[in-house]
Amino acid sequence: QRTVTTLRPFRYNTTSELVNTLVISSFCAFPWLVKRTNLLLETSIKLIGAEATCFYLDKTAGKVFSAGETNEDLQRVLTRLSKQQLGAIIDYCAEGETTEEGLDKNTRAIIDSVKTAAAHKYPAVAVKLTAISNTAVLARLNEVQKAAGSVYRNNMFQNLSKEGLLEFGLSLWEVEQVHRVFERARLIARHCSSLGVDMMIDAEQTFYQYAIDAVVTVLQREFNSNHAVVSNTIQCYLKDSVQKTTDYIEYSNTHNLATGIKLVRGAYLNEEKDLAAFMKYESPIWSSKSMSDHAYDENLKKLLYSYQVGNKLCVATHNEQSVSIAQEAIEQMKIDRKYGGVTFGQLLGMKAMMSESLASSGFATQKYVPYGPVQKLMPYLVRRAAEQSEVVKEIHAQVRQVLDEFKLRSKSVYYSPN
């Protein structure tokens, strides 16, 4: 194992990649500038056009926070991660499709990413239900499930027959859409199951989440009987996350299911707060970051100290304290660091030293790797830049790490990252 002083998280990046990382990290160090990213993009589109703007975005921020647009781009990034003993959670970014043909195309692309993931370490794919379902229907299903109550006690999809769904007040067209969502989701899950790839279904905004939970619960009943294939995502910035975790563990134990969870803090903070204020209802988000942190660590302990063979847990965090809590629990519960079913996850382009340190200590570690058409990646890239700008101290640390890598290479005329 390498000591912290000898860790080199950028040793396999090319010089051009290092320069790009340095430029983007330096940009993110100016929060006032990052806050104007959308305005800058709109201005660029007006001046040089959408195609040119997307091209330059792909060649800059896209190279730091994503794997690019093509499967070849993805393979190159995965190969580099494998050299670092890192796995990947591959996310084909494709929300916003409205046609059945587009949703079916997304499903095929996700299945291709499953096949790609299977050849690499700690393979997983992230799936957004908004990428394989009609979002208007998903929002309607969300309202129905929300009115029905907990998915663990009264799941609207418990009976997927036409008659069973019609009892919830759905139209025939909506029933047909439900069946198509399950066809696509099951197709992906079957490929994941046969190829040994974890299927992590992403959490989304609360106006979709009840419906997402209902779908995931059915899939877990079908695929998690021996070991977890399908994982749900719990967002700990939500006030109900601790109760949700408790209910989920109880439900899984009752039905003899392996648990599958990706634990995150949450990605739609401002959107949820703004929507609650506009619609004049109580915000579902904790009022402070410290409360979200406490909920995260409480959920983490619940999941780890109830661990059973076959369970899967992705500790998706950049928080040092949460990582330490997880490491301690893994040791106390005698969970194998590499193959026990617990992985650590960080976003591509962020927390490179943390990922390198975890991997070098023998813990299964994954980077969240989005890829796809840059037009679809654009909102993701803007969010990542915004997140980076909120942790200026970490940005400066990453800049120093890149500069250190340059210094080490300058001592070797013939250095090659390969």
Q: Count CA atoms closer than 13 A to 50's CA, side-chain side.
A: 4
What pLDDT score does 3 carry? 46
d(CA 327, CA 308): 16
Q: Kindly provide the b/e burial profile for residues 80-103, where b requires at least 16 CB atoms within 10 angstroms of the residue's own CB.
A: bbbebbbbbbbbbbbbebeeeeeb
Q: Which of 228-242, 350-364, 365-379 has the lowest mean pLDDT?
A: 365-379
pLDDT at 144 exceeding the cut of 80: yes
248-268 pLDDT, tens digit per residue, is 999 999 999 999 999 999 988
Whole-model pTM: value is 0.91
What pLDDT score does 395 carry? 76
> Which residue is listed with tokens 């490179």?
352
358-391 pLDDT, tens digit per residue, is 999 999 999 999 998 877 777 777 766 666 555 5
Q: What is the CA radius of gyration of the chain?
A: 21
What pLDDT score does 4 carry? 45
pLDDT at 409 exceeding the cut of 60: yes
pLDDT at 2 exceeding the cut of 60: no
**Cα–Cα distance list, 258 to 242, 250, 255 (Å):** 19, 11, 9
84-118 pLDDT, tens digit per residue, is 999 999 999 876 788 999 999 999 999 999 999 99
d(CA 349, CA 25): 9
Q: What angle do CA 67, 64, 126 make, to 5 degrees?
A: 45
Amino acid letter for position 36: R
Give start and end residues of each alpha helix (H) in 66-205: 71-83, 100-117, 135-148, 162-166, 172-195
d(CA 258, CA 223): 9
**Cα–Cα distance list, 117 to 106, 195, 398 (Å):** 16, 9, 27
168-183 pLDDT, tens digit per residue, is 999 999 999 999 999 9
What residues are paired with 285 via a beta bridge? 238
Selected residue with higher pLDDT from 417 and 218: 218
Phi and psi based region of residue 405 (left: phi greater than 0; alpha: psi -120 to 50; beta: remaining) = alpha
288-327 pLDDT, tens digit per residue, is 999 999 999 999 999 999 999 999 999 999 999 999 999 9
Mean pLDDT of 157-176: 96
